[in-house]
Structure 1
């Protein structure tokens, strides 16, 4: 069932793709398991843009004022720790690169002394509340850089969905913000904070960033620590950053450089000499015409800036959605097995409970097959990246849909309707399956003024090239 609505996920094209997984020729390779999740490449930090220091003491107060003024409608926050944020701001010493920058934290990520609710009744109420004694590693690193934690942002329950109720899209409150890091993206898009933490299993930082018009960065696995983060699917999960644009990209780059050391290789200025690969079939239908046209303009802009745009092949790219959903279902079922066995099933939302029921019916062999297909997809992605510096594609094939339009689990795309899993994972899940750094940034708006997104994907450890491309593209007003 679809995580947002309970609509069947395995009907139609997705069911056919699951069956097609068994027709992919495979070598006798073992399971990739966590696929380098614990092996971050060694390297140096990205250059840290100037930004900390005097003049930032009032940022937290201004953030709290904006939240108080507009979050009654946006509903991006589950908890605002105003007193704690003010106290933190007063203790940050000068000279920290993110001194005084207010940050939101997805309510899947631990902040010491604040409850981690995961968007679920499972972790709320007497005897069930989870109040960690220590910060998650990613939060601790942000604090050391001088950032101030303002509070917890909403998440779809256990990150298992793409809508993040009750949060609304700041560009049109009748529309969804995307998910599962919808609260973090909405908070940044609404101007509450310039930076927020999210998690990304199959696009959960990039999807809401594209829908809400923010930037999203998902570093190479291991660069941002995953401890203290409630899992959705342990072998795919990563922590990411969501930032305002264009100026907020500097904060995101600073945060990435401070808390997630990047490759030390040379990063060319601009796109001169860079080869950018576009996977074959990227702009095939279904896709919103405005999204396709914006992507074509982006590729032309790369050429204007001195880059070369070439078509690349990922032969089994069609299998990414089916393989990704199979892995998510199996790993999420394993994580929640004890809760279900102990009689806590009624505390799950209907959509998550339906997904877990579906996972219960899935044969164990499907998970094994999906992990082996994942190995094939990673090899194909690396082969494509061996001839180019970056991959580029739209982040989403559509703009944020109205909440009432996705009530049946389908998303309007290019004049037709497709399952939410297909729409949301189409361009996004491959980077998780292949353990590649990726990011999204705004690509203008459609005819209704709704944001569109451009996604970049780099080779393992090439986070610096990713950030360089994003900041260059933003700096030229593209």
Structure 2
């Protein structure tokens, strides 16, 4: 048996009796065994827990239960507590940190019958964009982005069908784009973060990742505790007014993917118009400032463990120590102003279309990247098209775009607060319209 290409396909096979949860798990574990020595996506594997969950799922299926996630193999970013399983946050600081209770999001997924393969890698404490030592399944000399790089790599490699990530400056969306999978940064407050190690409580959100856009919907329904209502089918763009938000230079391959998305929306009946919003690209610096200020407060509990941090994260925390309360409050005020500007734009447009990461997956360990022929700081470039939505709280969908046979590229759809499922439905239509162009 080969792994299904989507959660939706696997769910249908389980419901129709064409496979079992145990068979699906065996396939997932075989794929993991093949890929893990190459891509290092996982921090902790939980095969015993997974087998018990799969066996229970098969009993529930036999009794007529048809839950959307029943028997579906998933991974959690290693910030999410699972009782009896280590939560290390990718750091030696928490190497011996055994969770004693379940995060709310895992409580809900477990009750829905999801099968946990284990904890996927994160950049240390989610404070970075490379997720070392995880590597790209399409080219293991390249990085996967971050900080939810482990979940993205596991999805791209095909040994899970859903994942839980976190997003503070694009940490779901940039690895999703670089790896060619889908991810949603939900509306702020939609998914309860209790039991998830924070980076910046003001900006953090917990969200779903999947191999296909439509698969995000059942994951979000369970994770949020708000079952979907209404039609879950893809939503045609006919009659929509889409604002194409300009966010600075990008590589030609990324531009072609963005243009293809614009064209397929127009072909589907949408009107696409250019939009300029001053300060959007620069918002990444306010995002970084807020993250740093809040991270310093959280990490003071381990002030005597600084030598156990990686040099990169230790340096970022030390640099952030100089941020003043005045500067922090000013950044929060600019974030409120940006939210007002986005809300005003969404009064004119139904949805905004944005580029994703402005380059394809770069070689691992490169601190600088080249974007449209010009050198740029890697971490700033990874986040500069992402951070505005973390500052404003709006939901954003990351979805694949045609890559012309090269490394994956992605785009983003941004909507009004609470429009998360509308974004998934529209993104699902776009993905279907592209068809084999995404293969």
TM-score over 0.5 for the pair: yes
Aligned partner of 2:154 in structure 1 is: 187
- Identify the range of structure 1 (262-271 vs 317-326) with the bigger mean alpha-carbon deviation: 262-271
Counterparts of residues 461-476 of structure 1 (less than 5 Å):
461-476=418-433
Deviations 1:437-460 (A, max 9, x none): 11111112256x200001111100
Distance in 1, matches of 2:35 and 2:280, equals: 41
Q: Secondary structure at the match of 2:85?
A: coil
For residue 263 of structure 1, report the CA deviation from its aligned partner. 8.0
Distance in 1, matches of 2:403 and 2:345, equals: 30
Q: Which has the higher helix share?
A: 2
For residue 252 of structure 1, report the CA deviation from its aligned partner. 2.1
For residue 269 of structure 1, report the CA deviation from its aligned partner. 3.3
Deviations 1:18-57 (A, max 9, x none): xxxxxxxxxxxxxxxxxxxxxxxxxxxxx9x963523242
- Name the Cα RMSD after superposition: 2.0
Distance in 2, matches of 1:372 and 1:263, equals: 34
8 Å contact 2:264–2:433 — kept in the other structure? Answer: no
- TM-score normalised according to structure 1 size: 0.84
Q: Among 31, 34, 40, which residue is 1:75 paired with?
A: 40
Distance in 1, matches of 2:113 and 2:184, equals: 19
Structure 2, unaligned stretches of length 5 or more?
A: 1-7
Q: Among 242, 258, 267, which residue is 2:222 paired with?
A: 258
Q: Among 119, 129, 133, which residue is 1:166 paired with?
A: 133
Distance in 2, matches of 1:446 and 1:233, equals: 37
1:329 aligns with 2:292: yes
Counterparts of residues 42-61 of structure 1 (less than 5 Å):
51=12, 53=15, 54=17, 55-57=19-21, 58-61=23-26
Aligned partner of 2:260 in structure 1 is: 297
1:373 aligns with 2:337: no
For residue 217 of structure 1, report the CA deviation from its aligned partner. 1.3
Q: Among 378, 393, 399, which residue is 1:435 paired with?
A: 393
8 Å contact 1:154–1:184 — kept in the other structure? Answer: yes
Aligned partner of 1:270 in structure 2 is: 236
Distance in 2, matches of 1:382 and 1:263, equals: 24
Distance in 2, matches of 1:120 and 1:457, equals: 32
Aligned partner of 2:270 in structure 1 is: 307
Aligned partner of 2:82 in structure 1 is: 111
Distance in 1, matches of 2:235 and 2:296, equals: 46
For residue 222 of structure 1, report the CA deviation from its aligned partner. 2.1
For residue 61 of structure 1, report the CA deviation from its aligned partner. 1.2
For residue 207 of structure 1, report the CA deviation from its aligned partner. 0.5
Distance in 1, matches of 2:35 and 2:264, equals: 36
Q: Classify 1:191/1:263 alpha carbon distance in 2 versus 1 (closer, same or farther; 3 Å).
A: closer
For residue 192 of structure 1, report the CA deviation from its aligned partner. 1.1
Counterparts of residues 36-435 of structure 1 (less than 5 Å):
51=12, 53=15, 54=17, 55-57=19-21, 58-92=23-57, 93-94=60-61, 95-124=66-95, 129-245=96-212, 249-260=213-224, 261=226, 269-279=235-245, 281-282=246-247, 284-285=248-249, 287-340=250-303, 343-404=304-365, 406=366, 409-435=367-393
8 Å contact 1:445–1:452 — kept in the other structure? Answer: yes
Q: Size of the alignment, in residue pairs?
A: 416
For residue 329 of structure 1, report the CA deviation from its aligned partner. 0.5
Q: Runs ≥4 in structure 1, deviation > 3 angstroms?
A: 49-52, 262-269
8 Å contact 2:200–2:290 — kept in the other structure? Answer: yes
For residue 251 of structure 1, report the CA deviation from its aligned partner. 2.9
Distance in 1, matches of 2:231 and 2:241, equals: 15
Deviations 1:378-406 (A, max 9, x none): 111111111111111111110010114x1
8 Å contact 2:214–2:424 — kept in the other structure? Answer: no
For residue 250 of structure 1, report the CA deviation from its aligned partner. 3.5
- Identify the range of structure 1 (315-324 vs 201-210) with the bigger mean alpha-carbon deviation: 315-324
For residue 311 of structure 1, report the CA deviation from its aligned partner. 2.1
- Identify the range of structure 1 (60-69 vs 249-258) with the bigger mean alpha-carbon deviation: 249-258
Distance in 1, matches of 2:178 and 2:268, equals: 26
8 Å contact 1:213–1:442 — kept in the other structure? Answer: yes
8 Å contact 1:77–1:154 — kept in the other structure? Answer: yes
Structure 1, unaligned stretches of length 5 or more?
A: 1-46
Q: Secondary structure at the match of 2:209?
A: strand
- Identify the range of structure 1 (196-205 vs 92-101) with the bigger mean alpha-carbon deviation: 92-101
Q: Classify 1:396/1:309 alpha carbon distance in 2 versus 1 (closer, same or farther; 3 Å).
A: same
Q: Classify 1:73/1:104 alpha carbon distance in 2 versus 1 (closer, same or farther; 3 Å).
A: same
For residue 306 of structure 1, report the CA deviation from its aligned partner. 0.8
Distance in 2, matches of 1:318 and 1:472, equals: 28
